[in-house]
Structures are given as C-alpha cells and as structure tokens.
Amino acid sequence: MLLIFDWDGTLADSREHIVAAMQAAITTLELPTQTDNRCAQMIGLGLQETALQLFPHFYNNGFDEQDGLNQSGLEQFSTSYSSHFTHLKQQYGPTQFFPGAIDTLEQLKAQGHLLAVATGKSRRGLDRALAADNLMDLFIATRAADETASKPNPLMLEALLNETRMPAEQAVMIGDTSYDMQMAANIDMQRIAVSYGVHEVSVLEQYAPSLVIDRMEQLLEWPALV
C-alpha cells in the first residue's frame, strides 16, 4: 500500500516553530494581530493560502481592502515567513519528530509499503528537512504546496499516485488537519487522522477517517496493513 503522510503536525512536532515564524512575518509586514491559535489553524496550507485566510481584506504593502491580498502581498508574506523560519531554526534546533514516528516509518517500509509525503511546506523547506535528518531515502515520492496546489485541492495526491503508479484505492492519507482529510476525501482515498495535531478530532471525524490514532505506532496494528 502507498502511505502518504502529512509532515508538520503529523510526523514533525513543529507547531511552535511555525507559529513563531508566522507571527514574526506578521510583525515585519505590520499586519493586523493574529492569535497564536489562529495561526496554528493554518498549518498544513501553503504559505500564500495561509496569508489569504489570515488577511482576506486588508490594505498595506500589496494588500487590497476590497479584493484581499494581491500577488505582491502574497509573495511578501511567503518570503518573510521563510526568512523568519530559517532564522528561528537556530532557536528551535533540529526537527522534533513525534514519539515513534520515524521508527514506525522504518517498520512500514521494511514490510514493503511505499511511503510518500504531501505537505504544505515549500519544496525548499521540505528538502531541507529531509536532508537534515537523512530521510531522503525513506520516501518514494514527495510533493510540496508550491509545486502543485495547496490542500485541500487533491492535486498533490494525484501527482503522487501518478508517480508511484498506484490507484487511489491502494493508498491512504495520514494527517492531522481537516485539509488533509478533505483532500483525500475529494478523490475517495482512504484517510487516517492523528489526534495529536492542530485540528480537533471532532473536526477530523467529519471527514469519516478509516481510523483515528493517538500514536504513530498504532498504524502498525491497522488491519489493512497487517
């Protein structure tokens, strides 16, 4: 089976780092204040989609009060976020993975399953994370939001299916947000929700996941993979 994993909030415990970078970008661009929780709810979307959700009707440095963010404003937000995320890397250190995440991935691959990543991160950010932890060979394919389309558009899932030549019925999306669940539901792909990410289980359950797990190791007990 092809197992497609979200990155932030599912494999990587990166909420604080991402929120800090968002807040720094907001401050730098002198945008309206957002709560940490509101920023966290955006995790999983691409950077430009995050900006559109946070500031749909604001004018300043490329933002238009009537039409929302124009392209210049979107690019400014993305660039500022990326710069702050990289700068804050020294403060937050190496990627912190959720307990059991990497061990579970290695066991799944050893059992013959194919592993992939579908993430709201940029391609540059994902490649940097994979290289830093020497995980490039763990995944057969990866897709980032800036090279396909942001979740919940299923384009990145379709690209992964095409690359791996796997039908949707032999694949499953594992994620922590409604964006992950809706993306998979859009193409009738099975989905598994994790309870420890940024969106509440009650929200995830609206998309009828096949399973809700509290620990990554529980994937190894899912009958479809045994």
189, 181 Cβ separation under 8 angstroms: no
Nearest to 213 by CA among 199, 194, 197: 194
Tell which of 77, 92, 107 closes a domain.
92
pLDDT digits (tens, 9 = 90+) for 38-54: 999 999 999 989 998 99
Q: How far apart are the first and last CA of the chain?
A: 11
Whether residue 117 sits in one domain with residue 82:
no
pLDDT digits (tens, 9 = 90+) for 110-131: 999 999 999 999 999 999 999 9
Whether residue 62 sits in one domain with residue 8:
no
Whether residue 70 sits in one domain with residue 9:
no
Distance CA 199, CA 120 (A): 15
Whether residue 84 sits in one domain with residue 44:
yes
Whether residue 207 sits in one domain with residue 169:
yes
Give residues with Cβ within 8 angstroms of 173, minimum separation 6: 4, 6, 118, 157, 180, 181, 183, 184, 189, 190, 191, 192
Residue 220 has pLDDT above 70, yes or no: yes
Nearest to 145 by CA among 95, 173, 183: 183
120, 3 Cβ separation under 8 angstroms: no
Q: 70 vs 52, 59, 63, 129, CA distance in Å?
A: 9, 10, 6, 30
Residue 71 has pLDDT above 70, yes or no: no
153, 170 Cβ separation under 8 angstroms: no
Whether residue 31 sits in one domain with residue 8:
no
What residue type is assigned to position 102 of the chain?
Answer: I
Whether residue 140 sits in one domain with residue 188:
yes
Whether residue 58 sits in one domain with residue 30:
yes
Residues 79-94: what's their mean pLDDT?
92
Whose structure tokens read 């403060």?
91
Tell which of 65, 92, 119 closes a domain.
92
Q: SS3 helix, strand, coil % of the chain, rounded to 5?
A: 50, 15, 35
Mean pLDDT of the chain: 92
Whether residue 141 sits in one domain with residue 177:
yes
Q: What is the pTM of this model?
A: 0.91
Q: How many domains does the chain have?
A: 2
Tell which of 51, 68, 92 closes a domain.
92
Residue 93 has pLDDT above 60, yes or no: yes
Whether residue 63 sits in one domain with residue 87:
yes
Domain that holds residue 59: 15-92
Whether residue 50 sits in one domain with residue 149:
no
Largest interatomic CA distance in the chain: 54
Q: 175: domain CATH number?
A: 3.40.50.1000
Give residues with Cβ within 8 angstroms of 221, minimum separation 6: none
Whether residue 116 sits in one domain with residue 58:
no
pLDDT digits (tens, 9 = 90+) for 166-217: 999 999 999 999 999 999 999 999 999 999 999 999 999 999 999 999 999 9
